[in-house]
Structure 1
Amino acid sequence: MRISTVTMFEQSVTSLNRQQGDFLKVSEQIASGRRVVNPSDDPQAASRAVGVDQARAVTQQFADSRVSARNSLSQAESVLNSVSDAVTRAKTLMVQASSDTLSDVDRESVASELRGVYEALLGQANATDGNGRYLFGGYQDSSAPFVKDAAGEVQYVGDTNVRRQRIDASRLMDVSDHGEAIFQSVPSGAGYVTEADAANAGSVTFKGPEVIDSGDAGYGERYRVSFDEDAAGDPTFSVEVYDEAGGTWNATALTEEAYNPEVTVVSVGGLKLTLEGEPAVGDSITMGPADEMNTDLFRTFEKAIAALETPNATESDRASQRNTLSSVMRELDNGLDNVLTVRASMGARLNELDVVDSVGGNRLLNYEQTLSDLVDLDYAEAISEYSLRQVGMQAAQKTFADMKGMSLFQFL
């Protein structure tokens, strides 16, 4: 069989092109570090790699979301730490102001410091994050959530929604708490708070109430102790229960009990309230569950400052101030407990982020390993293949060079 020179050249060129193509493919794999450079290299692996890469991208997005959530919670938790310090300082000042050895000037000095704590607390309630958004305004985070009205009282103008962020496929986490839940609420089970009517003209002071039987049928109701006098002019008191349905004090628990100015113990609804001092006809003292009384931390500060700035000209003034400070102490305790409860909740969410981060990190590593197994290059095998293809191409080039010189004309 005779083989034409054209056929020899065509076969040699084809062999050279094939060897060069294989060599370039291995070179491209080594340069990119990937075994599957084009989908045609391994269609099944390429298809699986697309799915794994998408899952990895979603997992990474959740990781970025957790970073944002952690920043928000950390900033809010840091502010609540300062709020706790402010309320603790206010309690210390209340204890100091309760001393009978202080003069009106001394109490005004305490009120001045307390006002500074109050203003600092307001600033913390209107704290912002690094992007200028207010931390405790709910979704209305573009304006200050707490503002003073015309009367100088602080009002909450944010909303009661909570910003949430998805930190994992099955977890939507609260990354903030609105201001009303922090500064105008009390924790569940906060107990009772007692408050004297601002219009009282007598000098009655109270201690308590103390819970003596939380299983009493009347426990949890709101009570009002009202003072009067009998036909002989001796002081008496009666206890009324607040009618939630009618919104009036029309249910009487105790009627026309004798009152002893030295000390009188009122026992009703599983509670014990100790009274001292001379009442005036029409005076009243209310005790009720903390969540039905004043729950506004700013209002508590305002009451305390007003009481300390009022001179004690009469025995009635001293009794009013003592009663106000007693109520304020309980309200501050409840406010601090509430702030600590919210702060603990934030701490729990930060801990949860750490756990989810750990799980997400392991998942991300698994995706990286799977993706590497599918498309990444085994360099030892690739370098061996590279050397082999290089030798093959050199051999093809040598063969072609030798073959093109073979001709019968050399023998003529």
Structure 2
Amino acid sequence: MRISTKTIYENATSQLNSLQSQMARTQNQLATNKRVLTAADDPIASARALEVTQSQSLNTQYGTNRANANSSLSLVESAISNGADLVMDVQTLVVQAGNGTLSKSDRLQIATEIEGRMQDLLGIANTADGSGGYLFSGYKGTTMPFVQTDSGANYQGDQGQRKLQVGSSRSIAISDSGSSIFENNRTGNGSYQTKMVDGNTGSAVAGSGSVSDATKLTGHNYTLEFKVDGDKTTYTVTDNSTSPKTAVLSDEPYVAGKQIAFDGTSFTITGAPANGDKFEVKPSEKESIFTTMTNLVNALRDSGEDSGSLATLANKLSTASEGLKSSLDNMLTVRASVGSRMKELDYLEDQGSDLDIQYKGTLSKLQDLDIVKAISDYATQQTTLEAAQKSFKTMSGLSLFNYIG
């Protein structure tokens, strides 16, 4: 068969181009340490690698969100911790204010100090989040949560909790509303409160009491009124929520410190009540810590030196002490909730790290190059190309004129 010179050149050129392309591809694989350079190299592996890469990118973003969430929760936890310390300081001052040997001037100093603590607490409640907003304003991030008033402070935020997606199936609250932290405080013992009625002139002081039988609690409002006739002191408890009002206890002899119990409630009253002195017994309500502290300051500033005024102060200090305890308990509960979320973020971060390792391993199996095999292939291709070039040179040099003498 006769082969033309043109055919020889075309075939040789095509083969040389093909070998050079193979070498160039292998060289690129070695340079990038990637087996799959284009989807054409391995369509199935390329498609799977794209899915894994997208999942890996999402996991990376979740990691960023977890870091941001942890930063926000750290600010919340620090603010609540500082607030709890302030409340404990005020509790100490309340105990100090109850010392009967203090003068009016001493109590005014304590009132001023408590007022300063309230300003500090208000500053904590209005803590900024570092990005132009406030920690405790709910969804109203740019609205200052609390504005001071004559009776305490008004909350201007809402009840929302801002959340971040920190996992494929988990979003976590990164804030708590100021209302839930500073206004969600139960008066009295949490179930009911025993409170002196303004205008009492005796020295009777009521304790917070306890629930003797939760099944008997009615949620009604009661009035306990004392009657003093000579050396005999009695009291009557009236249920104000019934129509007509009904007497629950009538003309019971009063003994200072002896337990008074009715409709599931149980408490004591100490001191010497005056005729007509009254106490209210009603269900606990929510009260802002700022209202509690404002009432406490006013009670100290309005206190007198006579026995009746001191008894009134003692009752108000007892009420304030209950409110402060409830507030502290609530803050610690919220702080525990924040801590549990931060702990969950730690677990999610560990899971995210494990997932990232799995994604990298999967991508390595799909895309990474077998270096030893690639080097061997490159050496073989190089040898083949060199041989092809030499053979082409030899063939292209053949000519009939070389044999004509």
TM-score by length of 1: 0.90
Matches for 1:325-340 after TM superposition, within 5 Å: 325-340=317-332
Instruction: Give deviations 1:48-85, integer Å, cap 9, x for gaps.
Output: 11111122222222222212211111110111110111
Matched, 1:398 2:393: no
- Letter of the 1:58 partner, please give it: L
1:373 and 2:380 aligned: no
Q: What is the RMSD computed on CA atoms of the aligned residues? A: 2.4
Kindly indicate whether residue 343 of structure 2 is the aligned counterpart of residue 351 of structure 1. yes
Contact 1:227–1:235 (CA under 8 A) maintained in structure 2: no
DSSP 3-state at the match of 1:252:
strand
Aligned counterpart, 1:87:
87
Deviation at 1:170, TM superposition (A): 2.0
Partner of 1:177: 176
| Structure 2 residue aligned with 1:307 | 299
Tell me how far 1:402 sits from its aligned partner.
2.0
What SS does the aligned partner of 1:115 have? helix
Structure 1 residues 251 and 45, CA gap change in structure 2 (3 angstroms) = farther
Task: Using the TM superposition, name which of 54-63 and 175-184 deviates more.
Answer: 54-63
- Match of 2:103? 103
Could you say which residue in structure 2 is the equivalent of 1:25?
A: 25
For the residues of structure 2 that align with 1:91 and 1:131, how far apart are their CA atoms?
34
1:229-248 deviation line (CA, Å, top 9, x unaligned): 378796542223453xx7x8
Q: How big is the shift at 1:225? A: 3.6
CA–CA distance in structure 1, aligned partners of residues 49 and 343 of structure 2: 33
Other-structure match for 2:217: 219
Offset at 1:269?
3.0
Q: Which whole-Å deviations, capped at 9, do the CAs of 1:195-244 have from their partners, x for residues lacking one?
A: 22234343321223144x234x433635534325378796542223453x
Counterpart of 1:341?
333
CA–CA distance in structure 2, aligned partners of residues 249 and 382 of structure 1: 98
- Tell me if the contact between 1:137 and 1:178 (Cα under 8 Å) persists in the aligned partners: yes
The aligned runs of 1:12-411 (5 Å cut-off) are 12-149=12-149, 151=150, 153-186=152-185, 190-211=190-211, 213-215=212-214, 217-219=215-217, 221-229=219-227, 235-241=233-239, 243=241, 250-260=245-255, 262-263=256-257, 265-289=259-283, 292-411=284-403
Change (3 A) 1:252 1:64: farther
The Cα of 1:192 is off from its aligned counterpart by 4.2
One-letter amino acid of the counterpart of residue 184, structure 2: S
Partner of 2:34, secondary structure, is coil
1:263-298 per-residue CA deviation (whole Å, 9 max, x = no partner) reads: 554222343322234434553222344xx2353111
Contact 1:196 1:285 (8 Å CA) reproduced: yes
In structure 2, what residue type is equivalent to 1:297? I
The count of aligned residue pairs is 403
- Please report how far the alpha carbon of residue 178 of structure 1 lies from its aligned counterpart in structure 2 after TM superposition: 0.6
C-alpha separation in 1, matches of 2:228 and 2:102: 37
Partner deviation per Cα, 1:102-131 (whole Å, 9 max, x = no partner): 111111121121111111110001111110
Q: Could you tell me whether the CA contact under 8 Å between 1:69 and 1:175 is conserved in 2?
A: yes
SS at match of 2:142: coil
* CA–CA distance in structure 2, aligned partners of residues 190 and 272 of structure 1: 13
Gap change, CA 1:294 and 1:397, over 3 Å in 2: same
CA distance in 2, matches of 1:251, 1:367: 74
Give the Cα–Cα distance (whole angstroms) in 2 for the partners of residues 45 and 282 of structure 1. 90
- Distance, in Å, in 2 between the alignment partners of 1:355 and 1:187 is 34
Partner of 1:238, secondary structure, is strand
Between the aligned partners of 1:367 and 1:110, the Cα distance in structure 2 is 62
2:134 and 2:144 in contact (8 A); partners too: yes
Relative to structure 1, the CA distance from residue 330 to residue 123 in structure 2 (aligned partners, 3 Å threshold; closer, same or farther) is same
- 1:28 maps to a residue whose letter is N
Contact 2:228 2:274 in 1 (8 A): no
Runs of 4+ off more than 4 Å? 230-235
Q: Report how far residue 190 of structure 1 moved.
A: 3.7
Q: Give the counterpart letter for 2:364 in structure 1.
A: S
C-alpha distance in 2, partners of 1:50/1:249?
78
Measure the CA separation in 2 of the matches of 1:282 and 1:361.
Answer: 71
Secondary structure, counterpart of 1:41 in structure 2: coil
Q: For 1:34, what is the secondary structure of its paired residue? A: coil
Shift of 1:152: 5.2
Alignment check: 8 A CA contact 1:193 1:330 kept = no
Rounded Cα–Cα distance in structure 2 between residues aligned with 1:365 and 1:105: 68
What SS does structure 1 have at the residue aligned with 2:216?
A: coil
Measured in 1, the distance between the counterparts of 2:301 and 2:154 equals 22
Counterpart AA for 2:365: D
Tell me, yes or no, if the aligned pair for 1:222 and 1:286 is still in contact at 8 Å: no
